[in-house]
Amino acid sequence: MQKYDVAIFGAGIVGAFIFDTLTLKGLKCVLIDKGEDVCLGASKANSGIIHAGYDCARDTLKAKFNVLGNKMYPEIAKRLGEPIGECGSLVVGDKDSLLILTELLNRGMYNGVKNLEILDRSGLEKLEKNLNKNIAYGLYAKDAKIISPYHFTIALVEESLLNGGEIKLNYNVNSIQRQNDGYLISDGKENFMANYIVNACAEGVNEIGSLVGEPAIPLTYTKGEYVLLDKDEFGLACRPIFPTPTKNSKGILACPTVNGNTFFGPTAEDIKEYETSVTLSGINKIKTSILKMIDNVNFKRIIKLYAGVRVKTGDDFYINFNENKNYFVIAGICSPGLSAAPAIAEYVANSLIEKGLQVKAIKFTPRRPYTNILKLSNQELSNLIKKDKNYGDIVCNCEKVTKGEILEVLNRTPFKLTTDGIKRRLRVTMGRCQGSFCYPRLIKIMADYYNCDEKEICFRGKESLIVCDIKEGGIYAE
């Protein structure tokens, strides 16, 4: 039976960082998720900001791991070939905001954040052109950055798989038994062994915890809704712009993405159960908040609404290593979890190594970023098309993605992708038309590649089929 040093449950940004960090240290690891792809939870629907760390309460795990993680990102981005926007961030406010901004600056300095500065209106105008006239002051955090959180998660998993890591998707574990020589893990169909278990399942943390015999961790959920604007609105905000925060939230921000869009959000609504619907009241809250901060906004340019859920337990992250059980749990990783994830992964790795896991040198295989024709010179593109004409065949007109790029991703991904999986990797269907133009072609390319019927290509899980037969009398006919 297959035996691993570490089984990591949960393929969000936290699980992916732990998987990659441990694999690169030569440990034999498996990443397990109940979903059909990686990055299906909060890690795909957040603001993508690598916070500087001024916002976290003093002496918390959030503050410690955020500040450390922020410093780690640029080098990791370079290694993975992923874009990172080193644009800084602003918290802005009216003439009465100076006290709160100073409090944030002092907290940041206490947390170890460098390069913080309070700017007056003239300083702000040098950075941003669309600030509302009531904005008088701003806290400029030069070290804040932006990334694509789903690209990063996918890239980390790819790097780990290239370097010896293994993955099990659609794996619904139903038994975890401690034996003399490690844990026996089973979903009723496939069994394997692992010496250590790392539980990074966010909203599913207690599903794994209960199988290991751990008491339930109380969880609460806060939903954040967003609106995404068309690329022609890029530049409305040149960096994340936050309002002055309240006790419960950093507030609704305006933010660019590394792919050239602008988004507004998130709202912060406490919900009883994990769900990601978008609501009219959410959109209206976003509009009201943004207009207090930013001028020249054209809400007619909204192309997409979406939501993500922060899973919390208390006010801080909950990170606990039960050394007797060889069981690590990382729970309540709400914001700034994306920023903190690389540092959390280092901490988990160091704890496991101190406990006795042996680091081994590996022959590192670098991950190659996906081809992006928009980043090629005319000469490079022309050479590429000469080698493979599929790179001259545009499928997604809005984002300019070719059949060659889609086939490349299908070829290098060791599991069956959904259309949503292709979207997160290549941005196909993510542009102005949201797939109206390219969906039929994308489905056809995927069906041909997987040698299956177009009806078997899913949007997300198995329940989300896209193509169906239209019967006489319409699709609802008996």
Ligand X SMILES: Cc1cc2nc3c(=O)[nH]c(=O)nc-3n(C[C@H](O)[C@H](O)[C@H](O)COP(=O)(O)OP(=O)(O)OC[C@H]3O[C@@H](n4cnc5c(N)ncnc54)[C@H](O)[C@@H]3O)c2cc1C
Instruction: State which of residues 18, 31, 49, 395 lies at the interface with ligand X (CB under 6 A).
Output: 49
**Least distance from C-beta 199 to ligand X, angstroms?**
9
Query: What's the CA gap between 417 and 352, in Å, rounded?
Result: 33
Can you give the C-alpha Rg of the chain in angstroms?
A: 23
Instruction: State which of residues 11, 113, 119, 345 lies at the interface with ligand X (CB under 6 A).
Output: 11
Q: Quick check: 113 binds ligand X (CB under 6 A)?
A: no
Q: Quick check: 157 binds ligand X (CB under 6 A)?
A: no
Q: List, in sequence order, the alpha helices (H) in 113-148.
A: 121-127
What is the sign, positive or negative, of the torsion defined by CA atoms of 153, 157, 158, 159? positive
Interaction residues for ligand X, span 212-231 (CB under 6 A): 224
Selected range binding ligand X among 119-127, 200-208, 269-277, 465-473, rule: CB under 6 A: 200-208
Instruction: State which of residues 77, 157, 333, 343 lies at the interface with ligand X (CB under 6 A).
Output: 333
Q: Quick check: 64 binds ligand X (CB under 6 A)?
A: no
For Cα atoms 417, 419, 422, give the angle at the middle one, nearest 5 degrees. Answer: 70
- 51 catalytic? Reply is yes
Binding to ligand X by CB under 6 A, coded x per residue (else -) over 360-389, reads ------------------------------
Q: Side chain identity at 241, as an amino acid letter?
A: I
Q: Quick check: 168 binds ligand X (CB under 6 A)?
A: no
Measured from the CB atom, the residue of 257 and 402 that comes closer to ligand X is 257
Q: Quick check: 335 binds ligand X (CB under 6 A)?
A: yes
Residue 270 neighbours by CB distance under 10 Å: 11
**Least distance from C-beta 463 to ligand X, angstroms?**
15
Catalytic residue from among 51, 107, 310, 423: 51
Beta-bridge partners for 166: 30
Selected range binding ligand X among 44-52, 134-142, 443-451, 465-473, rule: CB under 6 A: 44-52
Query: What's the CA gap between 215 and 229, in Å, rounded?
Result: 43
Q: Answer for the pair 155, 81: CB distance below 8 angstroms, yes or no.
A: yes
**Least distance from C-beta 244 to ligand X, angstroms?**
17
Q: Side chain identity at 311, as an amino acid letter?
A: V
Instruction: State which of residues 209, 337, 342, 421 lies at the interface with ligand X (CB under 6 A).
Output: 337
Long-range contacts of 182-187 (CB under 8 A, 24+ apart): 182/3, 182/326, 183/7, 183/212, 183/326, 185/7, 185/32
Binding to ligand X by CB under 6 A, coded x per residue (else -) over 264-293, reads --x---------------------------
Q: Quick check: 201 binds ligand X (CB under 6 A)?
A: yes
Query: What's the CA gap between 43 and 334, in Å, rounded?
Result: 10
Q: Answer for the pair 175, 210: CB distance below 8 angstroms, yes or no.
A: no
111: which 2 tokens? 């947390």
Taking CA atoms, 470 is separated from 278, 280, 407, 435, 478, in Å, by 29, 32, 29, 21, 11
Instruction: State which of residues 26, 35, 164, 461 lies at the interface with ligand X (CB under 6 A).
Output: 35
**Least distance from C-beta 237 to ligand X, angstroms?**
14
C-alpha torsion 149→152→154→155, nearest 10: 170
Measured from the CB atom, the residue of 200 and 384 that comes closer to ligand X is 200
Residue 86 neighbours by CB distance under 10 Å: 14
# of chain residues touching ligand X (CB under 6 A): 39
Q: Quick check: 421 binds ligand X (CB under 6 A)?
A: no
Q: Where are the beta strands (DSSP E) in 175-216?
A: 175-179, 182-186, 191-199
**Least distance from C-beta 123 to ligand X, angstroms?**
24
Query: What's the CA gap between 443 and 232, in Å, rounded?
Result: 28
Q: Answer for the pair 48, 154: CB distance below 8 angstroms, yes or no.
A: no
Measured from the CB atom, the residue of 225 and 408 that comes closer to ligand X is 225
Q: Calculate the CA 24 to chain-centre distance.
A: 21
Instruction: State which of residues 308, 421, 431, 435 lies at the interface with ligand X (CB under 6 A).
Output: 308
DSSP summary character for residue 268: -
Beta-bridge partners for 51: none
Instruction: State which of residues 33, 143, 405, 408 lies at the interface with ligand X (CB under 6 A).
Output: 33
Q: By CB neighbour count within 10 A (0-12 exposed, 13-18 middle, 19+ buried), where does 364 fall? A: exposed
Selected range binding ligand X among 114-122, 328-336, 350-358, 427-435, rule: CB under 6 A: 328-336
Measured from the CB atom, the residue of 93 and 209 that comes closer to ligand X is 209
Query: What's the CA gap between 255 and 236, in Å, rounded?
Result: 8
Instruction: State which of residues 104, 309, 422, 430 lies at the interface with ligand X (CB under 6 A).
Output: 309
Selected range binding ligand X among 30-38, 122-130, 155-163, 395-403, rule: CB under 6 A: 30-38
Selected range binding ligand X among 48-56, 92-100, 378-386, 462-470, rule: CB under 6 A: 48-56
Measured from the CB atom, the residue of 43 and 97 that comes closer to ligand X is 43
Q: Could you give the residue numbers annotated as active site?
A: 51
What are the residues binding ligand X (CB under 6 A)?
9-15, 32-35, 40-43, 46-49, 51, 173, 200-202, 204, 207-208, 224, 266, 308-310, 333-339
